[in-house]
Amino acid sequence: MKLLVTGGAGFIGSQFIRYMAAKYPEYRLVNLDKLTYAGNLDNLRELDANAPYAFVRGDIADGELVGKLIGEGGFDAVVNFAAESHVDRSIEDASLFVRTNVLGTQTLLEASRRAGVKKYVQISTDEVYGTLGETGYFTEKTPLAPNSPYSSSKAGADLLVRAYYETYGMNVNITRCSNNYGPYHFPEKLIPLVITNAIEDKPIPVYGDGLYVRDWLHVEDHAVAIDKVLHGGKPGEVYNIGGHNERTNLDIVKFVLKRLGKPETLITHVTDRLGHDRRYAIDASKIREELGWEPAIFLEQGLARTVDWFVQNQEWWRKIKAKE
């Protein structure tokens, strides 16, 4: 199989490339990434130098580049991780999110359709469903009700993917995951920000009361799930991918501080984010029943490993934070 992975220098995309290269050494992998602030080729430093892998620097919204790459590449499948993904940045400027997440997805879809690509997988987010109360779970039937410019742009992309299935009969899947964590996580997101600030004895900003609930999924489990969807997902179907690890933001922060032996006095409550969704939680029974996937890494185990990775790989994240 020849596979185009877009956004493969990012946190989740790079994990997927490392996983696929190790599991399927006969596959040919091409990574298309613009290398914006969150794209980092150091994320692929563990990749075997002999792996059949190539990197192309480029923008998924660049129709000429994408059309030529996919049109001439002979790809069997495209997996699209490329996205602007930080909610705070989308609140400051939504235009880039619309360009990359919506127009970029349509550009990939059209090039894939014209080239006869056999499979297209869109990596989305549970945030397209909006927010939950204290009970209940997102299922694949939950109506889309995004509440931020970021999640709205991802919902728009999902609808385009659906349209290419319904209109053109393309073999597509959409995956919607809960919050990821793990090694190589860009340090603007909650868990790596908490870890790195705590190591540096800097204040740890917590939005509002800190009781916002998220379902945490280890990025290694996520890569396995996408592999299952790539090879076995039914055409046109959506698959939710959840970690079954609901915790408040404060729970996460306190775990990290305890693991590092740092005081809770580092916690600093800051003005809440605009339109902050209170709770996300995923029902992942469909992917379990149809494709045999379920998470293998418990949160406490995975989070401890993640903290230790950031302690042991300070050169990686200190270089990033110095640029920021």
| Residue 127 known to be catalytic | yes
Decide: residue 235, CB within 10 A, 0-12 exposed, 13-18 middle, 19+ buried. Answer: exposed
Q: Are 309 and 183 in contact (CB under 8 A)?
A: yes
Considering 33, 59, 84, 126, which one is annotated as catalytic?
A: 126
Please count the other Cβ atoms lying within 10 Å of the Cβ belonging to residue 319.
11
Please state, in angstroms and as integers, the Cα–Cα distance from residue 77 to each residue in 4, 95, 229, 254, 285, following that order. 6, 29, 12, 42, 25
Find the catalytic residue in 137, 150, 181, 212: 150
Residue 87: both structure tokens together: 């909610």
Query: Rounded CA gap, 72 and 68, in Å?
Result: 6
CA angle, residues 159, 150, 307, in degrees to nearest 5: 120
**Element housing 302 (H / E):** helix 299-312
In the set 33, 59, 84, 127, the catalytic residue is: 127
Q: Which residues are catalytic?
A: 126-127, 150
